[in-house]
A = this chain, B = another copy of it.
Amino acid sequence: MSYTIAVDVGGTQIRAACYPPESIIPVKIERSPTRCPDKPPLECMFDLIRSVWPEDQDVEAIGVAAPGPLNPYTGVIAEAPNIPGWINLPLRQYTQERFKVPVAVGNDANLAALAEWKYGVGRGHHHLVYLTVSTGIGGGVIIDDKLLLGTQGLAAELGHITVLPGGPMCGCGHPGHLEALSSGTGIVNWVKEEIEGGIVTSLVHEHPLTAAKIAAAARNGDELAMNAFTRAGSYLGLTIANFLHIFNPTIVVIGGGVSQSGNLLLDPMRSAMQVATLSPQYLENLTITTAALGDEVGLIGALALAHSFKG
């Protein structure tokens, strides 16, 4: 029997897990900080892979979920934010050379979409849009049972869509992107600006201010905090309506930490989406739901990638 190894490389943590055939329950899982004190992140990743390698079994393939723009066809990382030295890194080639098994590399948000489609809330759907709403906003799209990649694998950057021309600056340096309006960072920045403008709020002494603290304040009736989620959810819903017109999916999946604020974000999102949708046909048989796979979605996506894209 052949096992599969999945790796999820994040800005703060790398995880590796070993899966038996036809299972998404790992037999072994290990973690380490991405910035190890004594070795570069790539060696740290290699050590983790070794640590979960099965003793008496073959490994069929390795799948790696990595952040930032990367080319899934070549397995070259263009530039991984927050990972020192990962610029134009041929991650697939280096990993294949080291372990002598086929390796596939994919963008973490794309792979989260793949995971939810194959093993999560998206099972049975053929057209899926996935958004992870967290510090930033990432996306992944399944069309006719296939991941949308584009010519260099740079497609589905759904957080970097201009939603409000001239709006707040995104981390990428462009104004008015969905990420700048509806991500955790976007919510925090808006609340900070309102506080600086003199708005009264229970959040005035919170340092550092986080989206989770703003969600807690909203639940306690803080008006500014509620408005912050209404604003973020409304722009998110408006943008999802655009995605309905573009992709005509049967399911939209919202993952990521900020989605755990639940209806604070999702109620205004749904309202704005319905108002902005071109015709009721787009909403027929449409499921809007939060993600099912939680924290291990990156690993499970890397596993699905290794299964679908061996060699």
Q: Which residues on A are within 8 Å of B, measured CB to CB?
A: 69, 78, 126-127, 143-144, 146, 148-158, 160-165, 172, 174, 238-239, 241-242, 245-250, 276, 278-279, 281-282, 284-285
Q: Which residues of B contact A154 (CB under 8 A)?
A: 245, 248, 279, 281-282
- CB <8 Å contact, B248 and A162: no
Which residue of the partner chain, among B162, B164, B245, B248, contacts A153 with CB atoms under 8 Å? B248
- CB <8 Å contact, A165 and B164: yes
Q: Which residues of B contact A157 (CB under 8 A)?
A: 245-246, 278
Q: Closest Cβ of chain B: how far from A127's Cβ, in Å?
A: 5
What are 20 pairs between A and B in contact, CB < 8 Å? A69-B279, A78-B279, A143-B143, A144-B146, A150-B248, A150-B249, A151-B248, A151-B249, A151-B250, A152-B281, A153-B248, A155-B246, A155-B248, A157-B278, A158-B246, A161-B242, A162-B239, A162-B242, A163-B165, A174-B278
A119 to B120, CA, bound (A): 41
Q: Which residues of B contact A155 (CB under 8 A)?
A: 245-248
A247 to B238, CA, bound (A): 19
Q: Which residues of B contact A144 (CB under 8 A)?
A: 146
A78 to B280, CA, bound (A): 12
- CB <8 Å contact, B126 and A151: yes
Grouping DSSP codes into helix (H, G, I), strand (E, B) and loop, the A interface class, with mixed when no group exceeds half, is loop
A78 to B282, CA, bound (A): 12
- CB <8 Å contact, B158 and A148: no
Q: Which residues of B contact A164 (CB under 8 A)?
A: 165
A284 to B153, CA, bound (A): 13
- CB <8 Å contact, B78 and A281: yes
Q: Which residues of B contact A285 (CB under 8 A)?
A: 151
Name the residue of chain B whose CB is nearest to the CB of A235: B165
Knowing A238-B165, A241-B162 touch, does A156 contact B246 (C-beta < 8 A)?
yes
Q: Which residues of B contact A241 (CB under 8 A)?
A: 162
Q: Which 6 A-B pairs give the minimum distances between C-beta atoms?
A: A150-B248, A155-B248, A157-B245, A154-B248, A127-B151, A161-B242
Q: Which residues of B contact A126 (CB under 8 A)?
A: 151
Name the residue of chain B whose CB is nearest to the CB of A166: B164
